[in-house]
Amino acid sequence: MNHQPYLEWIFSDGEIGLDRLNQQQRYEFDQHLNSCSSCRSLFSAWHATEVYLQNQSLISPKPGFTSRWKLRLEEDRKLFHRRQTKVTLAVSIGGSLLLLVLLFLLTWPWLRSPSLLVWTWIYNIFIMYSYVGLVNEIIVRVIQSATFVIPITWLIILIGILSELGVLWIVSYRLLTNPRRITR
């Protein structure tokens, strides 16, 4: 005996459920139930189960659910802050350690031979001194050429005008940028 279509009707709803059977199908279904105890048993069991399920109402939680949720939220926030602090600390310590390692690697050759470090510094100071001397020589040359082209009197007047313009610029800059004092 093929039970499949009848089981399909029993356990489906909507388009293929028992509600949508035509008269012929309904007759066949009833005939089958009369002759098949297994399908009859399943049919009545499902009917009872469905009624039972539909009679069950929603369940409420214990009183104070929202308060407990607020507490949990607070705990969660604290945990989050704690975790954030730990992460920040770990990143800082990790970064510092990494920088220390890099610094160590950079200074390692110097630490191994301090004389090299001393000689490097002496060399740097010598180079700097050479540069200062060069700049000094250039300035002297420029002044010498200027006095050769322009007479000394004109040069003094020019420097005087430039100085006065400089002072004027500083005074106007201060007046423009300083906030005005509000008095009552």
Partner 1 sequence: MSNELPRQEIHNKEAEWLIEAQKGETNAFTYLVELYQKPVYSLCYRMLGNAEDAEDAAQETFMRAYKAIRRYDNKRPFSTWLLSIAAHHCIDQIRRRRFPIISVEELPFPELSEPSPGLETILVSNEEKNRIRSLLNVLEPLDRATVVLYYWYEFSYQEISELLSLSLSAVKSRLHRARRAMAENWIQIQPKFEQLDFNSNKSGCNENFLMERITP
Report if residue 41 touches partner 1, rule: CB under 8 A: yes
* Contact status, residue 39 vs residue 6, Cβ threshold 8 Å: yes
Under DSSP, the state recorded for 183 is: -
Q: Is 84 in the site for partner 1 (CB under 8 A)?
A: no
Q: Is 42 in the site for partner 1 (CB under 8 A)?
A: yes
Neighbours of 166 (CB within 10 A): 10
User: Residues touching partner 1: how many (CB under 8 A)?
Assistant: 30
108 binds partner 1 (CB under 8 A): no
Rounded to a whole number of angstroms, the CA Rg of the chain reads: 49
H/E run at residue 140: helix 114-149
- Please report whether residue 22 would count as binding partner 1 according to CB under 8 A: no
Q: What is the rounded end-to-end Cα distance, in angstroms, of the chain? A: 109
Nearest to residue 142, comparing CAs of 155, 153, 126?
155
Q: Is residue 62 close enough to count as binding partner 1 by CB under 8 A?
A: yes
Query: In this chain, which of 5, 73, 125, 130 binds partner 1, going by CB under 8 A?
Result: 73
Q: Are 54 and 13 in contact (CB under 8 A)?
A: no
Q: Are residues 33 and 39 in contact, defined by beta-carbon separation less than 8 angstroms?
A: yes
Q: Which is nearer to partner 1, 8 or 164 (CB)?
A: 8
Q: Among 4, 14, 167, 176, which residue interacts with partner 1 (rule: CB under 8 A)?
A: 14
Closest CB to partner 1 among residues 26, 72: 72
Residue from 1, 4, 53, 112 touching partner 1 (CB under 8 A): that is 53
Binding site for partner 1 (CB under 8 A): 7-8, 10-12, 14, 41-42, 45-46, 48-50, 52-54, 56, 58-62, 65-66, 68-70, 72-73, 76
